[in-house]
Amino acid sequence: MTTKLTLTVEKGVIQKAKSYAKHTGRSLSELVENYLETLTEEREDTKHLSPKLKKLVGIVKLPDEFDEKKELREYFEKKHL
C-alpha cells in the first residue's frame, strides 16, 4: 500500500533531485522511497563492517567481493613504505 508523504525541502535540492531522477529514468518518489528503505533496513552483510564504513552504506556501491581489511592493509602499506 502506498501513502502520500509531505516533505519540506530546499527548492534547489528539489530541482537537482528532479533533474537526477529524470536523468536516471526514475521518479522522485522512487528515489526517496529507495533511500528510506536503504536507510532503515537491517542488513546481515553490513554487520562485519567498521562504523565508518557503515556510514557509507547506501552512498557508495561497493563490489560484492570488497575486502575492507585487505584494502586497509594495502593503503597503510603504501602510506608507510
Domain positions in the chain are 1-41, 45-81
Q: Is pLDDT at 27 greater than 90 in this prediction? A: yes
Mind listing the pLDDT tens digit for each residue in 34-77? 888 887 876 666 677 788 877 776 776 778 899 999 999 999 99
pTM over 0.85: no
Q: How far apart are CA 61 and CA 74, in angstroms?
A: 20
Name which of 40, 9, 62, 12 is nearest 20 in CA terms: 12
**Do residues 57 and 49 make contact, with C-beta atoms less than 8 angstroms apart?**
yes
**How far apart are the C-alpha atoms of 79 and 62, rounded to whole Å?**
22
Decide if 3 contacts 29 (C-beta within 8 A): no
CATH 1.10.1220 fits 1-41, yes or no: yes
